[in-house]
Amino acid sequence: MTNEKTKRPQRVFTLLVQVGRKPDDGLPDGATGAGLLCYSSGVDEAEAVRETVKILKEAGLAPLDVSGYGTLEDREKLGHEIGEEERELMDRALADNAVIVAEMTPFYGEEDDEA
């Protein structure tokens, strides 16, 4: 088929996803949400974002905002230092056509700081 020749290649995008709270979301007690560092494959960043949001919702999380940081090449051009472990996770996301959550940072409310 000629469609195979025009198929765009998958690339891996670095995404930072902010999630809110939802019942049974697995976030730590007292957290108001979290930031998730994800590596997601897609033919473009928009597809990678859509797939990431879909997977996180299926996992019981509540995505609120997604920031894209581009591909490995984009990040290298910006001067980002990218370690071997991070590169391996990106390779895995590409090989498995998957979304990899590399890091989760819980957020805690600041209302106690105002008292």
Q: Of 112, 111, 110, 103, whose CA–CA distance to 34 is shortest? A: 103
Residue 95, Cβ density class (10 Å: 0-12 exposed, 13-18 middle, ≥19 buried):
exposed
Low-confidence spans in the chain with pLDDT less than 70: 1-5, 110-115
pLDDT on residue 40: 97
The pLDDT tens digits of the residues spanning 80-102 come to 999 999 999 999 999 999 999 99
Give CA–CA dist 88/82, Å, rounded. 10
Token pair, residue 10, equals 């998958």
